[in-house]
Amino acid sequence: MFNVSANGASIPAIGFGTFRIPGTDVLRMVPAALKLGYRHIDTAQIYGNEAEVGEAMASSGVARGDIFLTTKVWVDRYPHDPFIKSVDESLKKLKTDYVDLLLLHWPQSNVPLAERIAALNEVRDAGKVRHIGVSNFNTALMAEAAALSPAPIVTNQVEYHPYLDQSAVLGSARKHGMSITAYYAMADGKVIDDPVIKEIAKVHGRSPAQVVLRWLVQQDSVVALSKTVSEERARSNFEIFDFELSTEEMQALHNLARSAGRIVSPGHLAPQWD
């Protein structure tokens, strides 16, 4: 396990994601993940499981200070007063007095970006949040957010897997000292049966999922989220730090990118993608 440094934040390179994981599974899987060695937990207001994440963390036996916890403000909370109130509600549900990273979940909103960035900085200055970031931003919005924010933006959480070329976003992130946090790494399971990925996995005696997660974290400034309701898969997904892909293997995965590779793009929330 290693950490990714980004604008003053030290983010564990692999996180356990809780998107679409029901509360009962969160109560089971978050302590299991922490026992396996995960130290980065990712949730969001819209996931509806912050309370279970908080309960699971509190009962895990792992000290709060050893866990890097991320949550995200949903778009209907972007006006100033609902924003501040929503963060307080999240902290109460998460059973903590701070989160390590707070993100704007999607960019599309009638609330000016300057107002949203100001609110992020306000809760950071109040000690409720250690670091701030964005999610699903394109390069122009990343640059705008960085320019607007007195505090550094530490990550942009985006869809990223071998079928989606994110080189423009990665380049922008590195330019601004940010990291990229990759979600949907398995591309809805498509990577598991990909012949190129399966061949590389065979060479290393690994699973296709391990190869893709390794491909992500082996890139500069990239954090990967892993999501599963299987303790065995959670273990496997975490065991990616004792092997390395060659330059040729890394490029072979990059070469899988295609123009129609994006999976997640809700029209009322998404920006004009790069």
Classify strands 9-12 and 68-73 as parallel, antiparallel or unpaired.
unpaired
Pairwise CA distance, residues 152 & 154, whole Å? 6
47 catalytic, yes or no?
Answer: yes
- Strand-pairing partners, residue 134, are 104, 156
- Strand-pairing partners, residue 10, are 5
Helices (H), the chain: 23-36, 50-58, 80-94, 113-125, 139-148, 167-175, 195-204, 208-217, 231-238, 247-254
Query: Phi-psi bin for 237: left (phi > 0), alpha (psi -120 to 50), beta?
Result: alpha
From 38, 47, 183, 184, active-site residue: 47
Pairwise CA distance, residues 208 & 150, whole Å? 41
Tally Cβ neighbours within 10 Å of residue 221: 17
Annotate 56-118 with DSSP letters as a single string: HHHTSSS-GGG-EEEEEE-GGG-SHHHHHHHHHHHHHHHTSS-EEEEEE--S--SS-HHHHHH
Give catalytic residues, as residue numbers. Answer: 47
